[in-house]
Amino acid sequence: MFKLLIADDEQLEREALRFIISRSIDSINTIEEAVNGREAIDLASATKPDIIILDINMPGINGIEAARKIREADESVAIIFLTAFHQFDYAHEAIKVGVDDYIVKPSSEKRIIEVMMKVTSRLMKRAGERQQREVVEQRLDKVTDYLSSEFIYNLATRILDEEKVEHYLTLLDLDFHKGRGMVMKLLYKSYPILTSQESQKEILKKRCLRLIKAQLKQQDISCCFNTDLNNILILAYSDRYNGILESDDLLGNRISSIIESIRDDLNIEVLLAFGSLFGRHGNALESYDEAKRALNRSTGTPDQASPEEGLPIELEMDLEQAVLAVDKARVDELFVKLEEWVLSSGASFQVLKTNILDLTVILRHSAALQFPEGECQIETAEITDSGTEKDMLAGFRSFLNELIDRIALLYASENIPVIKKACRYIEENYSREIGLEDTAAFCNLSTFYFSKIFKEHKKKNFINYLTDLRIDEAKRLLSGTDLTMKEISDRVGYNDPNYFARVFRRVENCSPRSFRNKKMLKQQ
């Protein structure tokens, strides 16, 4: 629905236009009137019309001058000029202002309706395009937020190789000179209003993150977040040398100031700690571990075996790999270690429960990457509602069993994203030196577990799969091109032509040259 402003010093003209348009144009639901140019400018500013009909020849500020002023404030408004034949001298000025159409006096009802239909149709099309653009932008924002969150999660929980970091940075359009891992904990009990509902906590969390982002931006420090766990993971970075980010003392002072601002503005206490400085491709995991330990020290809990800093990273990663590989014997072995860690930690039950729930998030997140729909929802109420360590561990054991069963069921089918991802990686990189370790790292799996899963699904091991792919491409090049053996060898990932010839003979029972000659004879 559109708003219309009619500006004409003749009352009969205004009333006639109002009558014709209100009766004939359904998309116009509001009509305002102005008697001169000055009033038209004021009303346009106050009511924000979508369309303005301006009489060119009005006393005082004429239609052209009024249009120019209105355009300065609103470039999108559609302007239609009312003019007489003898006033076409104004045409050049009208074009410069940006006229959408003309109605020449005296005008028929048909012409008025025709012009209004044309202008409203144009506005509807523009509104539809804008809405479509907004939908696309919203979807892109969601994807970007997800990727950003996944990137920080991976930085904080595993060692990423340089290629994978570059891949994330390219997708997210990020560039940073140096960064620091940060961890934040919101102390909801300090908030003066009871925050028992997750929606309330989510609002507080978002407000805190907005404030942190704004205050760090004042120091030319950018940041992005992962909020999947109970403690929020933050990546603070700069795309050039930044004195505050690169100084422990200056950054510590800045963090203290941010904590005070959150306390003053939002009435909630937070703990915010940071780790050491790291470059684009190194020591991120160490930085986040340091931040977790610093956060733990601020709570007054001893460092050793501290639940506040999370499970030992080796135990967490080993359990993740064993679950993804559906290695039940290894999972049982690691569960015993987890049980020992829980029972010997000396931490409060609530802290232990928080860590176990965090671990379920990590495992679900890793499993979700294997599922076609990208989601892995498993109920954790047994853990959440548990009142003793025994019940909590029993709940976690049930969670593990269901997670393993789901992954096993997925692996029994043909539709497994991690294998598709690996195959796509091999197909895109077989022309260079790649190995089992590279591909496993690309898929976030250990070499052992990746090798096991790959062989189960492709019915051949990684080396044989890669070799077959390279030899198939070599056969295509031998049959359809005049490339030399050296050139073909390079293109399929073998630096040594002699080694290429030996592999080719082993697979095809003939040399590459013999294969080419036979193909040429057949073609002739």
Query: pLDDT grade, residue 309 (50/70/90)?
Result: very low
Other C-beta atoms closer than 10 Å to the C-beta of 98 total: 13
Are residues 468 and 426 in contact, defined by beta-carbon separation less than 8 angstroms? no
- Average pLDDT on 456-485 reads 89
Of 93 and 358, more confident: 358
pLDDT in tens, 281-300: 678 888 988 898 888 777 65
Q: What is the mean pLDDT of residues 101-123?
A: 88
For residue 418, give every residue at least 6 positions away whose Cβ sits within 8 Å of its Cβ, in sequence order, or none.
Answer: 369, 370, 443, 445, 453
Is residue 372 a contact partner of residue 417, using CB atoms and an 8 Å limit?
yes
CB-CB contact of 31 with 18 (8 Å): yes
- Report yes or no on whether pTM surpasses 0.85: no
**In this structure, are strands 51-55 and 78-84 parallel, antiparallel, or unpaired?**
parallel
125 pLDDT higher than 60: yes
Closest CA to 240 of 217, 268, 220, 260: 220
**Bridge partners (DSSP) listed for residue 32:** 5
How does residue 467 score in pLDDT terms, banded at 50, 70 and 90? very high
Of 388, 313, 325, 328, nearest to 358 by C-alpha is 313
Task: Return the DSSP state at 50.
Answer: S
Spell out the CATH class of 2-127. Answer: alpha beta
| 8 A C-beta contact, residue 492 and residue 499 | no
Residue 306: pLDDT band (50, 70, 90) is very low
Rounded CA separation 364/379 (Å):
11
CA dist., res. 470 & res. 213, Å (int): 49
pLDDT of the residue at 311:
67
What average pLDDT does the structure give for the chain? 84
DSSP secondary structure letter of residue 160: P
- CB-CB contact of 226 with 233 (8 Å): yes
Over 60: is that where the pLDDT of 184 sits? yes
- Summarised one tens digit per residue, pLDDT across range 377-395 is 788 889 988 999 999 999 9
**Residue ranges per structural domain of the chain:** 2-127, 175-299, 313-408, 417-523
Q: Are 303 and 293 within 8 A, CB to CB?
A: yes
Q: Give the per-residue pLDDT at 189.
A: 80
175-299: CATH number: 3.30.70.270
Instruction: Indicate whether 165 pLDDT > 90.
Output: no
Question: Three-state DSSP class for 222?
Answer: strand
Give the per-residue pLDDT at 260.
Answer: 92
With the C-alpha atoms ordered 486, 488, 494, 495, is the resulting torsion angle positive or negative? positive
- For residue 198, count other CB atoms closer than 10 A to its CB: 9
Model confidence over 191-220: pLDDT tens digits? 877 666 777 788 888 889 999 999 999 999
pLDDT tens sequence across 414-457: 556 778 888 888 998 888 888 888 888 777 676 766 787 788 77
Look at residue 279 and tell me whether its pLDDT is greater than 60: yes
With a cut of 60, say whether residue 87 has pLDDT above it: no
Which CATH architecture fits 417-523?
Orthogonal Bundle (1.10)
pLDDT at 299: 60
Taking the alpha carbons of 396, 401, 404, 409 in that order, is the dihedral positive or negative? negative
Residue 85: pLDDT over 60 = no
More confident residue, 437 or 45: 45
Alpha helices in 177-232 (DSSP H): 198-217
Q: pLDDT tens, 474-506?
A: 999 998 888 899 999 999 998 888 889 989 998
